[in-house]
Amino acid sequence: MKDFCSYLEFTDEIIEDIDTTVEKLGPCKIPSSLKLEPQCFVKDEARITLRVNYNYLKEQFTQNKETPSLELAGPRPYIYFDPSKTKVGIVTCGGLCPGINDVIRSIVMTLYYSYGVNKIIGFKYGLQGFIPKYKHEIVELTPDIVKDIHTMGGTFLGTSRGHQSIEEIVDTLERMNIQILFMIGGDGTFRAAYKIKEEITKRNLKIAVVAIPKTIDNDIWLVSKTFGFDTAVELACYAIRCAHTEAIAVPNGIGLVKLMGRYSGFIAAAATLATKEINFCLIPEMDFDIYGEKGLLAELEKRLQKRKHAVIVVAEGAGQKYVQKDLPEYDASGNIKLGDIGKFLKEEIEKYFKEKNINVVIRYIDPSYIIRSVPANVEDRIYCGFLGQYAVHAAMAGKTGIMVSYLNDQYVHVPIKEAIKRRKQINLHSRFWLSVLESTGQSSLKND
Is 217 designated active site? yes
Task: In whole angstroms, give the CA distance from residue 218 to residue 70.
Answer: 20
Residue of 102, 217, 219, 289 marked catalytic: 217
Q: Which amino acid is at 173?
A: L
Q: Residues 323, 325, 330, CA angle at the centre, nearest 5°?
A: 110
Distance (Å, rounded) from C-alpha 220 to C-alpha 421?
10
* 86 burial level (CB within 10 Å; 0-12, 13-18, 19+): buried
Cα-Cα-Cα-Cα torsion 68, 74, 77, 79, nearest 10 degrees, comes to 90
378-396 and 100-109 helices cross at what angle (nearest 10)?
A: 40
CA-CA distances (angstroms) from residue 93 to 165, 200, 331, 435?
15, 20, 15, 34
Q: How far apart are CA 176 and CA 199, in angstroms?
A: 16
Q: Which helix (H) or strand (E) holds 329?
A: none
Cα separation of 446 and 341, whole Å?
Answer: 18
CB proximity list for 167: less than 8 A, separation 6 or greater: 199
DSSP class per residue in 142-198: -HHHHTTGGGSSS-TT----S---HHHHHHHHHHTT--EEEEEE-HHHHHHHHHHHH
Backbone φ and ψ for 220, nearest 5 degrees, come out as -85, 130
8 Å CB contact between 56 and 395: no
- Return the closest-CA partner of residue 197 out of 422, 389, 390, 415: 415
Query: Which residues carry out catalysis?
Result: 217
